[in-house]
């Protein structure tokens, strides 16, 4: 998108207190990944209360994911390492989310389909990381240290990825299983879209 998404604009303001602190962008990335993995881990327990906390933590982590890039720009600490770390952090976060939701739903009516969906979602997250890196390379965005690792289509200040913010309220309302099914299928569709986009760019 030509203009930053709304969550990134909010992060740009909230991160200001960290600009004069010793916190580095890469440290922020690792902290965000830790929060995401903790949230995903709670979803693996199959316990409703843990799932509520896990969903909240994961959504918080996805919002904090915008802080490292904004901190890097405001501290003038952008780097290629940070660029790649952001992509890897996002892929690991989503892969863990799908795997842990699948584990949490093993004894649910989904049965073995829970494992199939979790594996498909996790694989899609990892493959999408590589295809998005390839798309950036084709567009010469990988040479721009200030480029955000987004790779998601967007409209009116919102990105496709922003749908993950629904994870918390949907889980709290007791509808995590339908979300898991829809997200597993959606992750596969998105992965195919990135593959097609990369192929089209290479041919063009």
pLDDT tens-digit map of 124-177? 999 999 999 999 988 876 555 555 544 555 566 677 788 899 999 999 999 999
How far is residue 137 from each of residues 36, 65, 131, 170, 198, measured CA to CA in Å? 27, 22, 10, 36, 10
Give the contacts of 47 (CB within 8 A, at least 6 positions apart): none
Spatial contact of 121 and 98, defined as CB atoms under 8 Å apart: yes
Query: Is residue 104 domain-resident?
Result: yes
| Integer Cα distance of 16 and 28 in angstroms | 13
Helices (H), the chain: 6-14, 25-43, 48-64, 67-75, 80-104, 113-138, 167-172, 176-203
Give the contacts of 195 (CB within 8 A, at least 6 positions apart): 127, 131
| Integer Cα distance of 80 and 35 in angstroms | 23
Query: Is residue 1 domain-resident?
Result: no
| Integer Cα distance of 137 and 130 in angstroms | 11
Check residue 6 and give its pLDDT: 86
Check residue 147 and give its pLDDT: 52
pLDDT tens-digit map of 62-119? 999 999 999 999 999 988 999 999 999 999 999 999 999 999 999 999 999 999 999 9
Using pLDDT thresholds of 50, 70 and 90, give the confidence band for residue 4: confident
Answering whether pTM is above 0.75, one says yes
The residue that leads in pLDDT, 143 or 4, is 4
Number of Cβ within 10 Å of residue 24's Cβ equals 17
User: Quick check: helix, strand or coil at residue 55?
Assistant: helix
Query: Is residue 45 domain-resident?
Result: yes
Position 190 pLDDT exceeds 50: yes
pLDDT tens-digit map of 22-37? 999 999 999 999 999 9
Q: How many domains does the chain have?
A: 1
Which whole number is the average pLDDT over 182-190? 93
Position 179 pLDDT exceeds 50: yes
Spatial contact of 37 and 96, defined as CB atoms under 8 Å apart: yes
CATH number at residue 172: 1.20.120.1760
Q: For residue 155, what are the domain limits?
A: 6-203
Check residue 142 and give its pLDDT: 55
Number of Cβ within 10 Å of residue 159's Cβ equals 19
């Amino acid at each position: 998108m030509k203009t930053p998404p709304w969550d990134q604009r909010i992060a740009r303001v909230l991160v200001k207190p960290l600009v004069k602190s010793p916190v580095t962008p890469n440290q922020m990335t690792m902290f965000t990944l830790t929060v995401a993995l903790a949230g995903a881990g709670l979803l693996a327990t199959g316990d409703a209360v843990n799932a509520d906390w896990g969903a909240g933590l994961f959504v918080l982590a996805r919002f904090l994911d915008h802080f490292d890039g904004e901190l890097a720009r405001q501290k003038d600490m952008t780097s290629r390492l940070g660029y790649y770390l952001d992509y890897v952090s996002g892929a690991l976060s989503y892969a863990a989310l799908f795997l842990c939701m699948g584990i949490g739903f093993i004894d649910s009516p989904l049965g073995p389909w829970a494992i199939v969906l979790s594996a498909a979602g996790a694989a899609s997250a990892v493959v999408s990381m590589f295809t998005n890196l390839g798309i950036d390379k084709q567009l010469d965005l990988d040479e721009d240290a200030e480029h955000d690792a987004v790779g998601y289509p967007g409209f009116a200040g919102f990105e496709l990825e922003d749908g993950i913010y629904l994870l918390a309220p949907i889980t709290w309302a007791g509808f995590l299983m339908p979300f898991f099914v829809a997200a597993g299928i959606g992750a596969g569709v998105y992965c195919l879209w990135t593959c097609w986009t990369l192929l089209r760019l290479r041919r063009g």
